[in-house]
Amino acid sequence: MTIREIKAKSILRKYKKVDSWFISRYGMNLYRGCTHNCVYCDGRAEGYYVDGEFGEDVTVKVNAIEILRQELDPKRKRIPFKRSFVMIGGGVGDSYQPIEEKYRLSRKVLELMDEYDFPVHILTKSTLIKRDIDILKKINRKNRAIVSFSFSSVNDEISAIFEPGVPSPSERLKTLAFFKNEGIACGMFLLPVIPFITDTPELMEKTIGKASKAGLDFIIFGGMTLKEGRQKDYFFKTLRNKYPKLIGEYENIYQKNKWGEAAGEYYNSINLTFDIIVKKYKIPPRIPLSLYKDILEENDLVVVILEHIDYLLKLQGRTSPYGYAAYSISKLKEPLSSIKRELERINGVGKVTESIILEILKTGSSSYYKKLLNDYSDQ
Ligand code: SF4
């Protein structure tokens, strides 16, 4: 393993629009590269320009805290920050991978988030996050914190093959139960499910069942992408070794798509399976409104709710105009409440969408959204 220390020029990544998966407008990578070394990790793909041998070498942004402090300083900002969760994790390196024990960058970032009053959402696969329970509780009391773990399934043996440097799914579930017990909202990112291995209805049911037992607040689901080049080659090496009979099936669904996506029919079929099971266990497939309603500004709240409606409709195989409307709204400079009478002039906004937007502006919620969510909830 090689550790390379670098001085970064910037840390905080600003998204073009609010991200409705994470309810976030800002994110960061404190480390580049990840010794968790998941076989399917797309950080390995050439497009991410991660230096060195992925899975073994890690670049550490040693000045991250100093830079972030400058970036967060309101006196230096011309445009104020928009309220949202700040996303810590994901991308090209887990923020709680083993090297964090030594550098403690994630912990120090949390301290800054607490100081500057930002809500945080952490996505990790590492139980090391338990170390920071004290600061997370503090943030949660003042501004809210969400802790999410990603899983490809809850099967420990399969995880040992595809996620060799990560605590087992059983350990991850225990850690989630620990955070839930401490009053922190928790989610599962069942992402990616591994085709023909962890996406079977039986294993998916087991995984979602365990998430339900742990009392998780939501499950976000997604299939696997395999980009041509390093990522696909590395994955196929393991596949050849451990599941040689599946090679043909994989070649069938991954046919040199530019984004590494599998065939649409494949994604449709796993989405359908997920939809049936997650309804059975009554877990929302998106972050619940109660966790962000009081955080987001009005335009972002509308964008997120419309994108969630869009997702729920598409999950059920239906078409939806709401994603396009949300995209158009995300481009607006003025608050929606200041143009209430002109909503139909926004691209993609028709009569029905207009009434949904007006209801959100008035009540902070949407009865149509709630109706769609009824199938996934006990309330
Ligand atoms: S934990 Fe995440 S970033 Fe790290 S190797 Fe696994 S998938 Fe990649």
> What residues does each domain of the chain span?
3-290, 297-374
Q: What is the DSSP letter of 122?
A: E
- Mapped onto helix, strand or coil, the DSSP state of residue 124 is strand
**How confident is the model over 177-220, as pLDDT tens digits?**
999 999 999 999 999 999 999 999 999 999 999 999 999 999 99
192 lines ligand 1 (CB under 6 A): no
| Spatial separation of the C-alpha atoms in residues 371 and 379, rounded to whole Å | 11
- Mapped onto helix, strand or coil, the DSSP state of residue 71 is helix
Question: How many angstroms separate the alpha carbon of residue 38 from the centre of ligand 1?
Answer: 5
| Spatial separation of the C-alpha atoms in residues 103 and 99, rounded to whole Å | 7
| Spatial separation of the C-alpha atoms in residues 306 and 42, rounded to whole Å | 28
Cα distances (angstroms) measured from residue 314 to each of 311, 317, 372? 5, 5, 12
Contact (CB, 8 A) for 345 and 325: no
CATH architecture of the domain with residue range 297-374: Orthogonal Bundle (1.10)
The ligand 1 atom at the shortest distance from the C-alpha of residue 54 is 5
Q: Which two tokens stand for residue 185?
A: 């909202």
41 lines ligand 1 (CB under 6 A): yes
pLDDT confidence of 379, banded at 50, 70, 90? low
Is the model's pLDDT at 74 over the cut of 90?
no
Q: Residue 13 — φ and ψ, nearest 5°? A: -95, 130
**Beta-ladder partners of 121:** 87, 146
Cα torsion at 99, 100, 102, 103 (round to 10°)? 110
**How confident is the model over 310-350, as pLDDT tens digits?**
999 999 889 999 999 999 999 999 999 999 999 999 999 99
257 CB-side CA count, 13 A = 14
| Angle at CA of residue 310, ends 305 and 316, nearest 5° | 130
The ligand 1 atom at the shortest distance from the C-alpha of residue 91 is 3
43 lines ligand 1 (CB under 6 A): yes
Task: Calculate the average pLDDT of the chain.
Answer: 95
Is the model's pLDDT at 378 over the cut of 80?
no
**CB neighbour list of residue 308: distance below 8 Å, 6 or more residues apart:** 20, 286, 369
Give mean pLDDT, residues 121-131.
Answer: 98
CATH architecture of the domain with residue range 3-290: Alpha-Beta Barrel (3.20)
Pairing label, strands 85-89, 13-19:
unpaired
- Nearest residue by C-alpha to atom 3 in ligand 1: 93
Contact (CB, 8 A) for 65 and 73: no
pLDDT (0 to 100) of residue 147 = 98
37 lines ligand 1 (CB under 6 A): yes
19 lines ligand 1 (CB under 6 A): no
Question: How many angstroms separate the alpha carbon of residue 37 from the centre of ligand 1?
Answer: 6
Give mean pLDDT, residues 112-129.
Answer: 97
